Chain A
Amino acid sequence: MDKHQKALEEFDEFIAGLPRSFTDEASQKGNLSNKVMDFEEYKILADGIKYSGRNELLKKMQDWDEQCAELPRYKGKTEMLNPRWLAVAATVAFFIVAGISIYSYLDSGYDNLVTSYYQPYNYIPETTRSAGAEENSIEHIFTHYDRGEYVQTIQLINGLPGERKNELTDYILANAYQAVGKYDSAIGIFDKIIADQSVYAAGARWYLALCYLSIEQKQKALPLLEELKASNSSYAQKAGALWEDLK
Chain B
Amino acid sequence: MEKHSLIDRIKNADADKELRKIYTKYREEFLAWSINTHKCTEDEAIEVFQQTMIVFYENIIIGKLKVFTSKVKTYIFSIGKHKILELRREQKKNDSYDSDYQFDERDIYINEFDDEYEKKMMGVENSLIQLGEPCRRILELFYYHQKTMDQISELMEYKNKQTVRNLKYKCLIRLRQIFKGELDSLN
A37 to B28, CA, bound (A): 46
Which residues of the partner chain A approach B75 to less than 8 Å between Cβ atoms?
none
A151 to B24, CA, bound (A): 27
A71 to B128, CA, bound (A): 35
Residue B25 CB within 8 A of the other chain: yes
Q: Which of B44-97 contact A (CB under 8 A)?
A: 46, 50, 53-54, 57-58
Contact with B along A174-204 (1 / 0, CB 8 A): 0000011110000000000000000000000
Q: Is the CB of A53 within 8 A of B143?
A: yes
Residue A45 CB within 8 A of the other chain: yes
Q: Is the CB of B8 within 8 A of A45?
A: no
Residue A55 CB within 8 A of the other chain: yes
Residue B1 CB within 8 A of the other chain: yes
Residue A13 CB within 8 A of the other chain: no
Number of A-B residue pairs with CB-CB distance less than 8 Å in the complex they form: 126
Which residues of the partner chain A approach B127 to less than 8 Å between Cβ atoms?
48
Among B9, B42, B124, B142, which residue has its beta carbon within 8 angstroms of that of A44? B124
Which residues of the partner chain A approach B20 to less than 8 Å between Cβ atoms?
60, 64
Contact stretch, chosen from A82-90, A112-120, A223-231, A233-241: A112-120
Residue B139 CB within 8 A of the other chain: yes
Q: Is the CB of A115 within 8 A of B140?
A: no
Contact with B along A20-56 (1 / 0, CB 8 A): 0000000000000000110001001111111111111
Among B14, B125, B166, which residue has its beta carbon within 8 angstroms of that of A51? B125
Which residues of the partner chain A approach B32 to less than 8 Å between Cβ atoms?
74
Which residues of the partner chain A approach B121 to less than 8 Å between Cβ atoms?
47-48, 51
**Given A49-B144, A107-B24, 12 additional A-B pairs, CB 8 A:** A45-B176, A48-B123, A49-B124, A51-B121, A52-B124, A52-B128, A55-B125, A61-B50, A104-B25, A115-B2, A119-B1, A180-B9
Q: Is the CB of B12 within 8 A of A180?
A: yes
Q: Is the CB of B169 within 8 A of A77?
A: no
A211 to B58, CA, bound (A): 28
What are 10 pairs between A and B in contact, CB < 8 Å? A41-B176, A45-B124, A45-B179, A49-B175, A53-B140, A76-B42, A77-B35, A181-B5, A181-B9, A181-B13
Q: A175: shortest Cβ distance to chain B, in Å? A: 12
A52 to B132, CA, bound (A): 13
Which residues of the partner chain B approach A119 to less than 8 Å between Cβ atoms?
1
| Most interface-central of A56, A62, A71 (chain B CB within 10 A) | A56
Nearest B-chain residue to A96, judged by Cβ: B28
Q: Is the CB of A49 within 8 A of B169?
A: no
Residue A68 CB within 8 A of the other chain: yes
Nearest A-chain residue to B32, judged by Cβ: A74
Q: B185: shortest Cβ distance to chain A, in Å? A: 16
Residue B112 CB within 8 A of the other chain: no
Residue B115 CB within 8 A of the other chain: no
Residue A148 CB within 8 A of the other chain: yes
Which residues of the partner chain A approach B18 to less than 8 Å between Cβ atoms?
181
Q: Is the CB of A60 within 8 A of B8?
A: no
A182 to B13, CA, bound (A): 8
Which residues of the partner chain B approach A62 to less than 8 Å between Cβ atoms?
50
A54 to B57, CA, bound (A): 10
Q: Is the CB of B31 within 8 A of A46?
A: no
Residue A137 CB within 8 A of the other chain: no
Q: B61: shortest Cβ distance to chain A, in Å? A: 10
Residue B133 CB within 8 A of the other chain: no
| Most interface-central of A4, A48, A71, A73 (chain B CB within 10 A) | A48
Q: Is the CB of A68 within 8 A of B24?
A: yes
Please judge, given known A-B contacts A5-B169, A180-B8, whether A56 and B13 are in contact too, CB under 8 Å.
no
Among B27, B41, B58, B175, which residue has its beta carbon within 8 angstroms of that of A45? B175
Nearest B-chain residue to A63, judged by Cβ: B20
Nearest A-chain residue to B4, judged by Cβ: A148
Q: Is the CB of A48 within 8 A of B8?
A: no
Q: Is the CB of A49 within 8 A of B41?
A: no
Residue B105 CB within 8 A of the other chain: no
